[in-house]
Amino acid sequence: MSEPTIHEVTIRRAGRIRVQVGRQEGTAATFYPPDPGDGDQWWVESAVDVSTDQPVELSLDEIERAIRAAIRKINNTRRTP
């Protein structure tokens, strides 16, 4: 296992929410769905409202959207020459 990394993404609610998503790499070759026991572990490190810079709680749907956005961001970065 490697060291955890933090990825910052923005999702929409009524406004925009800046979310820091943590990732601990596993041994699985694919991101989603990870192999049982081998996959990456993902979590929300923090979430703040962009307009007020105040912390917010995320719904399960918003947590999933933030993690998927972080995965897309990583995959897009890997494809960029």
Q: Where are the domains of the chain?
A: 5-79
pLDDT digit string, tens, across residues 39-72:
678 889 999 998 998 999 999 999 899 988 988 8
Residue 12 pLDDT > 90, yes or no? no
Residue type, 10: T
Query: How does DSSP classify residue 50?
Result: T
Which value, to the nearest 10 degrees, does the dihedral of the CA atoms of residues 29, 30, 33, 35 take?
0
pTM of this prediction exceeds 0.75: no
Mean pLDDT, the chain, as a whole number? Answer: 79
What length is written for the chain? Answer: 81
Q: Above pLDDT 90, what percent of the chain?
A: 10
